[in-house]
Amino acid sequence: MVNVAIINDTRSTSHYGCMMVMNNLIKHLNSLGVNVLWTWPVSVDWRKHRKEIMRKPNVDAFIINGEGTIHNNSKRRFSQALVDFIGYASDQKKPCYLINATLHNNCNDAYETISKARAVYVRDSGSLSELKKYGVLAKYVPDLTFGRKFSEMDRSCAEGIAVVDSAIKEDSLWLENFAMANDYDFRSMVVARPSNARFLRSPRPYIKNLYRYVLKDRKVSLDPNEYLLWLESHKFIVSGRYHTVTMCLKNRIPFVCLESNTPKVKFLLNDVFSHSNRSICYTDIYGAVNSEKFTSFSEDELECIDRFTNLAESEISKMFESILNDISNGVVGEFKY
């Protein structure tokens, strides 16, 4: 049996998108007979725990879950930590596969280190173009949330408008106020749990998170399927979250969105539709909620979504099969994408 470790296990964030990514990642590996022997959690800097990493059970390979974390590495400690882990794996002569990554605005040294990965899979064409500028070989495979459908709901019962928060604090506040002013349902994609923040590192966010947990989120399910059912129960979604957009696409729920902390939403929409018209600014949201152009999908858009989601499911499966074959064959020669 092939044993692997997953670096950047994002389940501890209590974020529905992150949990769906990790669920799909582990399910795909297990379906191929790959055993996930251990994982390293997001937001715990492995470089401060190098001895602990070295004491972990031996594995055949490392798989890094890139998600949206590898951007602006010169300013973002955890982006650099993931880059450095590729260097660590290379020093240990252990194959390392970076998957599901958005790469944006990193320095030259970061891309030089990333090139040491046995294989690099990015989740949008924008990241692929950036890597090509630095001569890094990679393949584009859509985000792991497209790996399988969690929910299948009768959309004829859907009604009303829902608003979802953002990873950007100012955008979240605007979206929540917009929902309250118009009596729309509002929800955060992150469920408050005591483990979401650390008091010593971030006292104020910790207290706010604990307050929300006690008053509102204590009984809220962490099952991504429950969140999907909530999305599907609405006719139209206004979102500030990348993974809400992927879920809306996968489940054919009309939406508009604000951009996130990188151009990842526009990258995704361009890959699906060859344009990013559904990524809009604050002032356009007021008109969008009353515009059939946005509140329903055109036939062309539905064809694009079908084509993209079918491709995504196929390419995600091929990615895992290629990684397994590479490990099983002894990591010899060039990686075969």
* pLDDT given for residue 42 in this prediction: 93
Q: What is the pLDDT of residues 138-197, one digit of tens each?
A: 999 999 999 866 556 677 789 999 999 999 999 999 999 999 999 999 999 999 888 777
Task: Report which of residues 197 and 27 the model is more confident about.
Answer: 27
CATH number for domain 2-147+312-328, candidates 3.90.1200.10, 3.20.20.70, 3.40.50.2300, 1.10.540.10: 3.40.50.2300
Q: What 3-state DSSP class applies to 124?
A: coil
Query: Is the pLDDT confidence value at 198 over 80?
Result: no
- Cα(273)–Cα(10) distance, integer angstroms: 29
**If you search the block for the tokens 């469920």, which residue do you land on?**
191
| The two three-digit tokens of residue 256, written as one number | 């508009």
| Equal CATH topology for 2-147+312-328 and 155-296 | yes
Q: What is the pLDDT of residues 205-261, one digit of tens each?
A: 777 777 687 778 888 999 999 999 999 999 999 999 999 999 999 999 999 999 988
Q: What is the pLDDT of residues 250-269, one digit of tens each?
A: 999 999 999 988 899 999 99
* pLDDT given for residue 30 in this prediction: 97
Question: Is 235 in contact with 160 (CB distance < 8 Å)?
Answer: yes
Question: Is 96 in contact with 90 (CB distance < 8 Å)?
Answer: yes
Q: Which long-range contacts (CB under 8 A, 24 or more apart) does 105-109 make?
A: 105/71, 105/72, 105/262, 106/70, 106/71, 106/72, 106/73, 106/74, 106/79, 107/73, 107/74, 108/134
In sequence order, which ranges of 104-146 are alpha helices (DSSP H)? 108-114, 125-133
Q: Once rounded to an integer, what is the mean pLDDT over residues 276-292?
A: 95
Question: Comparing C-alpha atoms, which of 272, 235, 244 is closest to residue 123?
Answer: 272
Q: What is the pLDDT of residues 285-294, one digit of tens each?
A: 999 999 999 9
**Domain positions in the chain:** 2-147+312-328, 155-296
What is the dihedral angle through the alpha carbons of 282, 283, 288, 293, rounded to the nearest 10 degrees?
-110
* Highest CATH level, class, for 155-296: alpha beta
